[in-house]
Copies of this chain bind each other. A is one copy, B any other.
Amino acid sequence: MAETNQGYKTRQRDLILEVLKKQGNRHLTAQEVTDLLHKKGTAVGKSTVYRYLEKLAQDGIVKKYTVDGEKSICYQFLQSHETCINHYHLKCEKCGKLIHMECETVDRLAEHIFEHHNFHLNTAKCVFYGVCENCKKGE
């Protein structure tokens, strides 16, 4: 939902997106985004940062989640956001990596949950936590 509701294009929004994209696979807190912009000499008000990050999360352009141990909310840019509608995410609690998973078996999950639990799943926002292959090896 809300894919087309882009709102206005402003200097601040461009700057925020740029910072998020530059961080690639890493997640950032609102504070970190604010600080990075400040250091670059292109400061943006923190309420703007919070509000825009929230909007991007609603639109499925960034992922918003909490990480155990971090006291703040984390945001992460989704590389190919158009494909994030119908797949799921695996978040490694060790290295912070976000894995995009497409899988038929898991696809049936939404259907099942709707039919048997009367719950309308928003698959784009579902995050499974655990430990990825690499981190498991290193334990």
Chain A interfacial positions (CB closer than 8 Å to B):
64-68, 90, 92-93, 99, 101, 103, 105-106, 109, 112-113, 116-122, 125-133, 136
Contacts and interface: CB of A to CB of B under 8 A. Distances in A.
Nearest to A118: B133
A105 B101 contact: no
A105 to B, nearest CB: 5
A103 B68 CA distance: 23
A56 B112 CA distance: 31
Given A119-B132, A122-B93, A65 B68 contact: yes
A93 to B, nearest CB: 7
B130 A129 contact: no
Given A66-B68, A109-B106, A131 B127 contact: no
Given A118-B133, A119-B131, 11 more contacts: A66-B67, A66-B68, A101-B117, A105-B112, A106-B109, A119-B130, A119-B132, A120-B136, A121-B128, A122-B130, A125-B129
26 contacts: A64-B68, A66-B66, A66-B67, A68-B127, A90-B117, A90-B121, A93-B122, A99-B119, A101-B117, A101-B119, A103-B116, A105-B109, A106-B109, A106-B112, A106-B113, A109-B109, A118-B132, A119-B131, A119-B132, A119-B133, A120-B131, A120-B132, A121-B130, A122-B131, A125-B129, A126-B129
